Amino acid sequence: MDAISVIRAKRDRHPLTEDQIDWIIDAYTAGTVADEQMSALAMAIFLNGMSRAEIARWTAAMIGSGERMDFSSLPRPTADKHSTGGVGDKITLPLAPLVAACGAAVPQLSGRGLGHTGGTLDKLEAIPGWQAALSNARMMDVLREVGSVICAAGDGLAPADKRLYALRDVTGTVEALPLIASSIMSKKIAEGTDSLVLDVKAGSGAFMKTAEDARELATTMVELGADHGVRTVALLTDMSTPLGRTAGNALEVRESVEVLAGGGPSDVVELTLALAREMLAGAGLPDADPARALADGRAMDVWRRMITAQGGDPDAPLPTAREQHVLTAPSSGVLTRLDAYAVGLCAWRLGAGRARKEDPVQPGAGVELHAKPGDLVVEGAPLLTLHTDTPNALGYAEAALEGAYEVGTADDFTATPLLLGRVGA
């Protein structure tokens, strides 16, 4: 078999055979298929799509390129969650210990931010001493001792996806739905959990801009889970405005701790509980009450033990940025719009994110929201606070917010529900 014949098949809108898919993934992982050849195939997939059978086989081949984890020795059922990414999306931080407090084991393998979306590992690394890199043995120990762990995925997990993801990022094929779905699901299925809950976001700050596109992606991923024997459900959630009142690493950790303490923004609490209930149902614990575990302190106890088990100090002060710049409301009225993408871009320019995966991030940088859409604001009162260690970035960051928010009357505002739908197995 050769790469050119595989490229031509997809270019000419023929379905790829199982043998073709297995060969191209194996050969690309081994380095015998060149990047430019895989780029051509990725573009052909972007333009012509893939059938359900093709996507399932492509995903299986990527899983087969590396190891598959096994949690069957744990005394608890396992549940995992994946978000397609957004602005202010700190849900994993309170969610993992909350679900563990209710009786499931949560092996949460997470990633870093790129561009305007934040990364869970970047947020947690704002905690002094906390370590993202754990061996498989240490991860199992933490799961047995604590019930939840949030850490980086090892290099042995779907290595084909690691190469292909980097290639898609520089060839204009990131948006190819079959490649998005197989990228996410190959890693999640290889993790080996009993059930998976997906948070598929729609809106300006999300990867999928419309609810229709988000539903198509969610359906594809739920089908992939079913095809590989993993109980998978997806919640469709709004990302037209940021989640919570912060976007930035230490800022979001602080807000997550507020949620674990029984407070925090209502939208963060709502989504945390909705995802927790789905994860617990998937783990065979439908009668567990995550709201009570937040209220009675059990989730906070698991959080503190989890952070400590990974070298962090849950009592240490979180980093703060050296510079703060306050933007005030231009007029009095109701905040009718606050664009998620613009806030994420602003936080990135302030130093909270990275343009390349090798770039460092500023733990204290980000954006603090003093109002959310639907709130009353007063002319001259604080609307947003920008946090950064690099004051010369403030002008560039503030420019990202031009036209990003509007103040009007109550009649001008229509609330968008946080939960837009559900896709079940």
Q: Which amino acids are annotated catalytic?
A: 82, 161, 168, 183, 187
**Closest Cα to residue 59, out of 211, 232, 201, 209?**
232
**Side chain identity, residue 206:** A
**Closest Cα to residue 84, out of 186, 195, 217?**
217
Collect contacts of 399-406 with beta carbons under 8 A, ≥24 apart.
400/342, 400/345, 400/346, 400/349, 401/327, 401/342, 401/343, 401/346, 403/339, 403/342, 404/337, 404/338, 404/339, 404/342, 404/343, 404/346, 405/335, 405/337, 405/338, 405/339, 406/335, 406/336, 406/337
> What is the C-alpha separation between 391 and 260, in angstroms, rounded?
32
**Residue with the two structure tokens 């379905």:** 15
Say if residues 139 and 191 touch (Cβ distance below 8 Å).
Answer: no
DSSP 320-380: --SEEEEEEPSSSEEEEEE-HHHHHHHHIIIIIS-SSTT----TT-EEEES--TT-EE-TT
Q: Which residues pair with 335 in a beta bridge?
A: 407
> What is the C-alpha separation between 145 and 365, in angstroms, rounded?
33
Please report how many Cα atoms fall inside a 13 Å half-sphere around the Cα of residue 229, on the Cβ side: 5
